[in-house]
Amino acid sequence: MQDNKREFLYDCARYIQGEITEVRLRGNRKDCVLLASALKESRNLFRCLNEEDPSISAVVNALGKKREASRKLKRGVGFTWPF
């Protein structure tokens, strides 16, 4: 089970960095929606941070959205988002 989690998190990191275009999720719809939201907001933050000249307000906004998605995931599923 630990290897599956490690592989899943590796794929999530690759998605956030733009190395792959999708991560397939299976399971309870509510859980998948919460996880997809955390993935999306993490990727948006990564992109924002890697812009040519990122603005502080854009980064702070993206960080806030990512934190909120992470909190919802923790409350809804009990999974602490490592990104």
In a domain, 19, yes or no: yes
Please give the Cα distance from 48 to 65 (Å, whole number). Answer: 12
Q: What is the pLDDT of residues 30-61, one digit of tens each?
A: 999 999 999 999 999 999 999 999 899 999 99
pTM for this prediction: 0.90
Whole-number pLDDT of residue 1: 56
Neighbours of 44 (CB within 10 A): 18
Whole-number pLDDT of residue 2: 80
In a domain, 28, yes or no: yes
In a domain, 46, yes or no: yes
In a domain, 71, yes or no: yes
- Residue 12 · residue 39 · CB < 8 Å: yes
Whole-number pLDDT of residue 74: 97
Q: How many domains, the chain?
A: 1
In a domain, 83, yes or no: no
In a domain, 82, yes or no: no
Question: Which range marks the domain in which residue 9 is found?
Answer: 2-77
